[in-house]
């Protein structure tokens, strides 16, 4: 909505609602309708008389608490501001009635009833109220008729009665230096003050080019991990098997977390695609939810650009590698337990800021052991990611354990070997 006109347009809508109600009431009950004006409450004339009017006075503006931070300013990739956030406001009005005792109380009652009935003001009513200003001789009101945009704003106007205690009323009437008259407070929300134009002008188009690109049906329906022919969790050393349509396009590219994947052409076809994670890609990935994207490219104005894309989200789990024979020494005080460091390989690497923990489940029964990973203290030229995690075991009972590694809240998934035994296992002897 146009920032300069929003508040004035809101006042004119209230003026229209009250004036329509008073005109209708006067026609039904046979009396002269009091006028409607906006501004500070009028003062009695020198002879003591005062006009019969219902007055709307905007006495306060406050930020709307629900929408004040709803939309942040938009910035481009270089940090330059391109648009401002709209200013969301609540408007506070004082409705008062003036004139003879009977007519002012009739006017107050009709006006309050009209605002109560309006409640959430229909957009058609807002348009009618503003369009009625088109024939005004006041240029400012003519601008409200066509340029305010009040009826098109995201939030419609809501009118509600606002309780004003004696102290608040006394301060208001004292501030306007007018004799106290019957009055009521109203809250109108939400009025959005927005820019007419963007903060920065868009760059001009240097040239226009149209290129016809063939549209292929590219559909990604299912993703699962495979090791050989066996279904497997999605880990760094497993393949990704995709099902869908359009996988036979020669210009198809696949990425995981923005990193390139290798297509196994011998195991792929129009509806099945087998992907491998190269070693160079594994070092750039991290455990967690990652986007798997299939992209078809085309040549536009001599430049290769993405034309179609299918995306799915996959969960990349950590894959631990434990030593075949543990060299953790026996505890000095208890020969049935071990105390010392244990190095566990992990793929993909773990960032220093990520949390990791080793979970050991004894195969012979007993309580699980959980050992948190404490990253080494930062040093000069220290790595940012670790492919080997060192865990400090303290008084862990000797025995055989099923190993799970948790990284960033995501657990590795043990899988059975050819003999049906779940791996990886760790022997502490």
Q: How far apart are CA 302 and CA 350, in angstroms?
A: 41
197: DSSP letter: S
| DSSP 8-class letter at 44 | P
Question: Could you give the CA distance from residue 86 to residue 12 in angstroms, rounded to a whole number?
Answer: 21
Q: Rounded to an integer, what distance in angstroms lies between the CA atom of residue 356 and that of residue 340? A: 18
* CB-based contacts of 10, cutoff 8 Å, min separation 6: 91, 150, 157, 188, 191
pLDDT exceeds cutoff 70 at 80:
no
Kindly tell me if the per-residue pLDDT of 200 is higher than 90. no
* Domain residue limits, the chain: 6-193, 219-316, 319-428
Of 279, 287, 292, nearest to 235 (Cα)?
A: 287
> With bands split at pLDDT 50, 70 and 90, how would you rate the model's confidence at 115?
very high
DSSP 113: H
Give me the mean pLDDT over the 141-167 stretch: 89
Q: Round to whole Å and give the CA distance between 341 and 424.
A: 18
Contact 425, 401 (CB under 8 A): yes
> Which residues does 23 contact at the CB level (< 8 Å), separation at least 6?
33
State in Å, rounded, how far the first CA of the chain is from the last one: 75
pLDDT tens-place string over residues 369-387? 999 999 988 877 778 899 9
CB 339 within 8 A of CB 329: yes
> pLDDT of 38-62, one tens digit each?
999 998 887 878 889 999 999 999 9
H-type helices in 132-227, by residue range? 139-147, 166-176
Say which CATH architecture domain 319-428 belongs to. Sandwich (2.60)
- Model confidence over 241-267: pLDDT tens digits? 999 999 998 889 999 999 999 999 999
Residue 74: what pLDDT? 64
Indicate the SS3 state at residue 12: helix
The pLDDT of residue 377 is: 85
Q: How many CB atoms lie within 10 A of CB 372?
A: 11
**With 70 as the cut, is the pLDDT of residue 172 above it?**
yes
- Shortest CA distance to 115 belongs to which of 10, 17, 19? 17
pLDDT of residue 81: 64
- pLDDT number for residue 302: 79
Given a contact cutoff of 8 angstroms between Cβ atoms, the answer to whether 261 and 277 are in contact is: yes
What is the average pLDDT value for the chain, to the nearest integer?
Answer: 90
Contact between residue 150 and residue 130 where contact means Cβ atoms under 8 Å apart: yes
For position 213, what pLDDT does the model report? 75
Cα–Cα distance for residue pair 414/214, rounded to 1 Å:
45
Q: Is 281 helix (H, G, I), strand (E, B) or coil?
A: helix
Question: Of 106, 118, 105, which Cα lies nearest the Cα of 187?
Answer: 118
According to the model, what pLDDT value does residue 85 have? 74
Q: What mean pLDDT do residues 257-279 have?
A: 95
Answer yes or no: are the C-beta atoms of 224 and 241 closer than 8 Å: yes
Give how far Cα 400 sits from Cα of 325, 362, 429, Å. Answer: 11, 6, 8
With cut-offs at 50, 70 and 90, classify the pLDDT of residue 83. Answer: low
pLDDT for position 194: 78
Q: Is 127 helix (H, G, I), strand (E, B) or coil?
A: helix
Question: Tell me, what's the pLDDT at 79?
Answer: 65
Q: Which helix (H) or strand (E) holds 334?
A: strand 334-351
* CA atoms 354, 360, 361, 367: torsion sign: negative
Q: Which range among 96-110, 139-153, 173-187, 391-405 shows the weakest confidence by mean pLDDT?
A: 139-153
Residue 284 scores a pLDDT above 80: yes
Q: Where residue 220 falls among pLDDT bands split at 50, 70, 90?
A: very high
Q: For domain 219-316, give the CATH number.
A: 2.60.40.10
Residues whose CB falls within 8 Å of the CB of residue 30, separated by 6 or more in sequence, listed in order: none
d(CA 270, CA 219): 11
- pLDDT, average across residues 6-16: 95
Contacts of 281 (CB under 8 A, 6+ apart): 256, 259, 260, 261
Token representation of residue 304: 């290769």
Least confident of 15-19, 64-68, 169-173, 227-231: 64-68
pLDDT of residue 7: 93
**pTM: predicted TM-score of the whole model, two decimal places:** 0.55
In the prediction, which pLDDT does 202 show?
63
Distance of alpha carbon 126 from alpha carbon 148, whole angstroms:
11
What does the DSSP assignment read for 48-74?
S----EEEEEEEEEEE-TTTTTSSPPE
> Same CATH fold, 319-428 and 219-316?
yes
pLDDT level of residue 154 (50, 70, 90 thresholds) = confident
> Which residue, among 376, 328, 322, has the nearest Cα to 350 in the 3D structure?
376
Neighbours of 335 (CB within 10 A): 9
CA 362/CA 402 separation, integer angstroms? 6
Tell me if 231 sits within 8 A of 242, measured CB to CB.
no
Answer with the residue of higher pLDDT: 425 or 77. 425
């Amino acid at each position: 909505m146009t920032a300069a006109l929003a508040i004035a347009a809101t006042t004119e809508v209230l003026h229209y609602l009250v004036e329509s109600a008073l005109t209708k009431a006067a026609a039904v009950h046979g009396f002269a309708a009091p006028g409607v004006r906006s501004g500070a409450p009028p003062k009695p004339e020198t002879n003591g008389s005062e006009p019969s009017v219902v007055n709307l006075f905007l006495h306060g503006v406050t930020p709307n608490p629900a929408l004040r931070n709803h939309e942040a300013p938009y910035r481009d990739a270089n940090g330059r501001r391109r648009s401002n956030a709209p200013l969301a406001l609540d408007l506070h009005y004082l409705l008062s009635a003036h004139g003879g005792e009977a007519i002012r109380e009739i006017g107050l009652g009709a006006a309050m009833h009209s605002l109560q009935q309006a409640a959430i003001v229909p957009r058609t009513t807002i348009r009618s109220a503003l369009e009625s200003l088109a024939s005004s001789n006041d240029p400012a009101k003519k601008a409200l008729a066509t340029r305010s945009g009040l009826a098109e704003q995201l939030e419609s106007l809501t009118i509600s009665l606002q309780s004003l205690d004696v102290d608040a009323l006394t301060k208001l009437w004292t501030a306007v230096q007018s004799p106290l008259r019957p009055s009521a407070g109203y809250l109108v929300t939400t009025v959005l003050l927005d820019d007419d134009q963007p903060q920065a002008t868009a760059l001009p188009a240097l040239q226009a080019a149209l290129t016809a690109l063939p549209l292929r049906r590219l559909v990604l329906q299912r993703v699962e991990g495979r090791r050989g022919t066996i279904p497997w969790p999605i880990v760094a050393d497993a393949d990704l098997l995709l099902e869908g349509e359009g996988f036979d396009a020669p210009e198809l590219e696949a990425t995981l977390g923005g990193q390139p994947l290798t297509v196994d052409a011998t195991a792929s076809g129009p509806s099945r695609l087998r992907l491998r994670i190269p070693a160079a890609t594994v070092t750039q990935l991290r455990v967690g939810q990652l986007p798997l994207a299939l992209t078809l490219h085309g040549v536009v104005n001599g430049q290769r650009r993405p034309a179609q894309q299918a995306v799915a989200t996959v969960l990349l789990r950590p894959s631990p590698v434990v030593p075949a024979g543990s060299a953790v020494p026996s505890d000095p005080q208890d020969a049935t337990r071990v105390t010392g460091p244990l190095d566990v390989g992990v793929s993909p690497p773990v960032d220093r800021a990520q949390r990791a923990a080793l979970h050991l489940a004894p195969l012979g029964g007993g309580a699980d052991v959980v050992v948190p990973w404490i990253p080494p203290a930062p040093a000069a030229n220290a790595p940012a990611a670790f492919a080997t995690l060192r865990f400090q075991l303290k008084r862990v009972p000797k025995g055989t354990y099923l190993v799970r590694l948790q990284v960033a809240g995501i657990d590795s998934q043990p899988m059975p070997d050819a003999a049906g035994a779940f791996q990886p296992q760790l022997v502490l002897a």
